[in-house]
Structure 1
Amino acid sequence: MQKILVTGATSGIGLAAATLLAVEGHQVIATGRTEEKLRRVEQAADKANVTIRRVKLDVSDSESISNMKNEVLALTNGYGVDVLVNNAGYAEAGAIEELPLNRLRKQFETNVFGLVAVSQALLPLMRQRQRGKIINISSVLGKVSIPLMGAYTASKHAVEAISDAMRVELADAGVTVSVVAPGSVETNFGSTVSTSIEDWAVEASPYKHSYTKFQNDRMADGGAKPLVIAKTIRDIVQSEHPKARYAATYDSKLMPVATTLLPTKAVDKLLKKYVLGR
C-alpha cells in the first residue's frame, strides 16, 4: 500500500485515478477546490466501497497549499506521500491576438505554477526517504500546438519542460518524475473550453466563425474513457522503474509523429482548415 495524493480529483481523469488506486488498496488523498466538488469524490468512493480522504486545495493559492500540506501530514502521521499525481488543471481557449492577458496568466498559475508549488511542498519528505514518485499530467498538446488553444498548449509545453528538468534533478534523490500525456478524453473539457470563450469573446471578433466551429467540434468530441488514463497512472505507481513519458491514448501517440514528419506548411494548412474552418 502506498500513500498517494491526486490533485484535481473531483472529475475526469483525477476522479478515475483516485478511485482506481483506492480500489487497489492504496491510501488515497484526493483534492478539489470546493467542498461541493469534493462530494463527488465521496460519492465515487461510496459507490466503489472504498475510503478516499478528501482535502480542499486551490493549487494557485499559496495559503491553500500550506493548509493542504498540514492536512496531508496529519492524515499520514507525518509521513507525507509516496506518490504525487499533479492532475489539477483546466483549458483556456481563444486566439492569442485577443485573449485577455489575465486569462493567460491564470492558465499558467494553475497548470504550471500550481504544479510546481504542490511539488515543492511535498518533495522534502520524499527526498528525506530517498524514495518517491511524481506523476505530472500533461497532454498531447504538450508536444503539439493548435490554434485557439495557444494558452493551454503553452502551459502543457511548460509542464513537459519542467518535468524533464525535475526528472534529472531528482534522480539522485530517489524520486522519479513521469509525464502522462492523454489525447482526447471523455470529460467535461469541451464544455469548459466553450464557456471560457463565451466569457470574454466579443461579437465583432474576426475569429467569430472559428470560435463557433471550435466550440461545436469540442462539444462533439468523444475520446478515451478517463479510466484508460487512470490505468496508465496505476501502472506507473506499480512500476519499479517508470518511464519518463507515457502517451496514454492512440491520438497522443500519433499526432506528435505526424506533425514531425509532415512539412510545417502542410500541418499549418490542415490546422487552418480543420480547427479554424478557413
Structure 2
Amino acid sequence: MPSILITGCSSGIGYYCAKALQAEGYQVFATARQQKDVERLLNEGLQSTRLDLTDSQSIDDALTWLLEQTNGQLDALFNNGAYGQPGAVEDLSRQTLRQQFETNLFGTHELTCKVIKLMRKQGHGRIIQNSSVLGLITMKYRGAYNASKFALEGLTDTLRQELSDTPIKVSLIEPGPIESDFRKNAHKAFNANIDIESSAHKNTYIAVQKRLANTNAKQKNDTFTLGPEAVYNALKHALESRHPKARYYVTFPTKLFAVLRRLLSTRGLDWVLNKISNSENK
C-alpha cells in the first residue's frame, strides 16, 4: 500500500485528493494548518496531523509522526498547501509578500528537502508540486501569488534536473480555475493586508472586493471551472506512471495560456491578460 503525504487538506483539491486516494487503497497522511480541520479529517477516517508550512517545528513534528506510522518510509509527497494574496504590487508590504512566500514557497521547499533525504535513503519516491496557471502567466492584482508560483516553478524545474539521475520523480501540476475555497481565503487575505482607502487602485479594489466576496457556484468563468477531480486525475498519473510528465496542464485556460505564452509577443500577451483583468474587475 503506497503512502503519500498531502499538505493543505482542509478543503478543495487537497481534501478531494486525500479522500479519493484513500478510497483507491493509498495510505494517505492528510495534513492541515488548523487543528479544527485536523479533527474533522480524523473524524472522517483519514490519518491526519497539523502541518503549518510557516512553522519549521510544525513541519518536523508532522514528519516525525508520519514516519512513526510508516516505519520510516514515504512513497510520495503532494505539495498542495497554498493561498492567494490579492493586491496591486505597489500595495504589497514587505511583510505581506514574505507571508505569501513563507507558505507557498519556503515551507514547501523545507518540507520537500527533508522528504528528499528520506527518498534517497529508501531508493524511490514521487514529488508532485501543485502550481497554477499563474505560474505560467501573470494577471493584475495577483502579484504576490504570481511571484510565489513562478518561484515554485523555477525551483521545481531545477530540482527535477538535479534529481534526474535518481529514482525520485518530480512533477508539476498547473491547474486553472478549480472549485475550491481559494477565493474565500483570498478575500480574507485581501482584507487583512491591503490598505484599500489609501491606494491609487481604490476604485478597482471595490470591484475586486465584490468578485472575491462572490462565492456562489455560478461565476463568469463557470464554463471553464472544473471540479477537483481534474487535478486528481493528473495526480494519479504522476504517482503511478512509469514515466510521469514534467508538467500537467489542467483546465482549458491553462492549456490555452501555455500555448499563447509561446506564440504571442510580450506586448501581445499583456494585451490579452489586461483585457481579461479589466473585464473581471469592472
TM-score, length of structure 2 as denominator length: 0.90
Alignment-derived partner of residue 67 in structure 1: 61
| Distance in 1 of aligned mates of 2:277 and 2:189 | 17
Q: Does 1:24 align with 2:9?
A: no
Q: Deviations over 1:219-271 (max 9, x none)?
A: 34541111211221122111111011100221111123224323333333343
| Distance in 2 of aligned mates of 1:265 and 1:94 | 22
Alignment-derived partner of residue 11 in structure 1: 11
| Distance in 1 of aligned mates of 2:206 and 2:230 | 30
For the residue of structure 2 that corresponds to 1:25, the secondary structure is coil
Q: Does 1:94 align with 2:87?
A: yes
| Distance in 1 of aligned mates of 2:210 and 2:263 | 29
Alpha-carbon contact 1:91-1:189 (below 8 Å) kept: yes
Q: Does 1:241 align with 2:243?
A: yes
Alignment-derived partner of residue 213 in structure 1: 207
For the residue of structure 2 that corresponds to 1:173, the secondary structure is coil
| Distance in 2 of aligned mates of 1:245 and 1:256 | 11
Q: Report the count of equivalent residues.
A: 271
| Distance in 2 of aligned mates of 1:217 and 1:38 | 30
Alpha-carbon contact 1:140-1:252 (below 8 Å) kept: yes
Matches of residues 181-192 of structure 1 in structure 2 within 5 Å? 181-192=174-185
TM-score, length of structure 1 as denominator length: 0.91
Q: CA deviation at 1:173?
A: 2.3
Q: CA deviation at 1:217?
A: 3.6
Alignment-derived partner of residue 159 in structure 2: 166
For the residue of structure 1 that corresponds to 2:165, the secondary structure is helix
Q: Deviations over 1:97-121 (max 9, x none)?
A: 1112111001111111111111112
Residue ranges of structure 1 left out of the alignment (5+ in a row): none
For the residue of structure 2 that corresponds to 1:13, the secondary structure is helix
Q: Does 1:115 align with 2:121?
A: no
Q: CA deviation at 1:208?
A: 1.6
For the residue of structure 1 that corresponds to 2:91, the secondary structure is coil
| Distance in 2 of aligned mates of 1:202 and 1:247 | 34
Alpha-carbon contact 1:8-1:32 (below 8 Å) kept: yes
Letter paired with 2:257? M
For the residue of structure 1 that corresponds to 2:268, the secondary structure is helix
Alpha-carbon contact 1:83-1:237 (below 8 Å) kept: yes
Over aligned residues, Cα RMSD in angstroms?
A: 1.7
Alignment-derived partner of residue 233 in structure 2: 231
For the residue of structure 1 that corresponds to 2:13, the secondary structure is helix
Shifted more, 137-146 versus 231-240: the winner is 231-240
Shifted more, 214-223 versus 158-167: the winner is 214-223
Alignment-derived partner of residue 38 in structure 2: 38
Alpha-carbon contact 1:86-1:136 (below 8 Å) kept: yes
Over 3 Å counting, the alpha-carbon distance change for 1:230 and 1:41 in structure 2 is farther
The share of aligned pairs that are identical, in percent, is 37
Q: CA deviation at 1:213?
A: 2.2
Over 3 Å counting, the alpha-carbon distance change for 1:227 and 1:42 in structure 2 is farther
Q: CA deviation at 1:211?
A: 1.8
Alpha-carbon contact 1:17-1:231 (below 8 Å) kept: no
| Distance in 2 of aligned mates of 1:226 and 1:212 | 29
Residue ranges of structure 2 left out of the alignment (5+ in a row): none
